[in-house]
Amino acid sequence: MSSTDRPILLVEDNPMDVDLTLRAFRRRRVTNDIHVARDGEEALAWMARWEAGEPWPAVILLDLKLPKVDGLEVLRQLKQHAVLRVIPVVVLTTSADSGDVQTAYHLGANSYIVKPVEFEKFMDVSEKVDLYWTVVNQRPY
């Protein structure tokens, strides 16, 4: 599987945000499959599927404020996993709180991006995330 073919996992509960993100990706001609997990539990469920052999995503875009299981908890479990910890996780959230930033990086987040309100900027961000994490970045798998 070539690098650009790897899917992206979007963990986001807000349907509007999901929609806008997908649109933003589409507008910027991102061709990767985008899987969506709508809460923390769903996101964690993906771990079992990856263990079972499903292709790992090129990057996980993770919101922090999630129902059921908090985004930080998802991050923690993922980064404690012996094998899956290598999957890049980009925290994509509304919170610019320095506490959240600190915690996320301590738990092993690979990047932390604050979602801009302006849609143009959001599209820019989406494009850059895709470009960087699916094309430029060299992954160990």
- Shortest Å distance, C-beta 29 to other proteins: 15
Q: For other proteins, which residue of 28, 79, 81, 115 counts as binding (CB under 8 A)?
A: 115
Binding window for other proteins (CB under 8 A); candidates: 1-9, 34-42, 116-124, 129-137: 116-124
Give yes or no for residue 117 binding other proteins (CB under 8 A). Answer: yes
Q: How far is the CB of 118 from other proteins (least distance, A)?
A: 6
Cα distance between the two ends of the chain: 10
Q: Per-residue string for binding with other proteins, 8-27, x by CB under 8 A?
A: ------x-xx--x--x----
Buried residues in 56-90 as b, exposed as e (16+ CB within 10 A): bbbbbbbbbebeebebbbbbbbbbeeeebeebbbb
Residues 74-113 close enough to bind other proteins by CB under 8 A: 94-98
Q: Residue 60's closest CA among 107, 96, 27?
A: 107
Do residues 84 and 51 make contact, with C-beta atoms less than 8 angstroms apart? yes
Asked whether position 38 contacts other proteins by CB under 8 A, the answer is no
- Return the sign of the alpha-carbon dihedral for residues 15, 65, 136, 53: negative
Supply φ then ψ for residue 88, to 5 degrees: -65, 135
What is the closest distance, in whole angstroms, from the C-beta atom of residue 8 to other proteins in the complex? 19
Sign of the Cα torsion 61, 65, 69, 72 reads positive
Nearer to other proteins by C-beta: 94 or 137? Answer: 94
| Chain positions contacting other proteins, by CB under 8 A | 14, 16-17, 20, 23, 65, 94-98, 115-120, 122
